[in-house]
């Protein structure tokens, strides 16, 4: 029961974080095509005011719940080494932890990324994580 509850919370928090990245990369960047620069900045900021209240915390919930799920399903390492499931799960965990550390640094410490400043790179990582989650059970 605990696993199912935390898994559900994890999925919802990932939907919120990934959904924002999806919206930002595919739709909000297109606002520049129809709005002038001043309107674009004003519209984006009016959206980001609300985003900053929810999205960073959903990322943190996703990371914490993901860590619990990782320890719940990773299993024992066999004599032959890591299984393909364990390798893909480990890659997902590393990418998720990187996103989490990036989000924590931005939200609580005001540290902006030195590289990959746009949301395109985190969006790409989310796509990779989703792909891994689909292939790791094969």
15-58 confidence digits (pLDDT tens): 999 999 999 999 998 888 999 999 999 999 999 999 999 999 99
Domain of residue 80, residue span:
2-135
State the Cα–Cα distance between residues 138 and 28, nearest whole angstrom. Answer: 35
The total of structural domains in the chain comes to 1
Reported as a single tens digit per residue, the pLDDT across 56-68 is: 999 999 999 999 9
Task: Tell me the backbone φ, ψ of residue 115, rounded to 5 degrees.
Answer: -125, 165
* pLDDT at 75 > cutoff 80: yes
Q: Residue 39: its pLDDT value, please?
A: 93
Give which of 1, 34, 24 is closest to 121, Cα–Cα: 24
């Amino acid at each position: 029961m605990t696993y199912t509850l935390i898994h559900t919370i994890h999925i919802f928090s990932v939907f919120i974080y990934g959904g924002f990245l999806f919206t930002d990369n595919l739709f909000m960047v297109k606002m520049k095509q129809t709005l002038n620069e001043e309107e674009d900045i004003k519209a984006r900021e009016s959206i980001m005011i609300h985003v900053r209240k929810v999205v960073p915390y959903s990322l943190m919930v996703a990371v914490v719940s993901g860590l619990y799920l990782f320890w719940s399903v990773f299993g024992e390492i066999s004599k032959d080494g890591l299984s393909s499931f364990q390798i893909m799960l480990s890659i997902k965990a590393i990418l998720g932890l990187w996103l989490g550390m990036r989000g924590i640094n931005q939200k609580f410490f005001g540290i902006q990324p030195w590289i990959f400043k746009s949301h395109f790179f985190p969006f790409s990582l989310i796509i990779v994580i989703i792909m891994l989650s689909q292939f790791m059970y094969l």
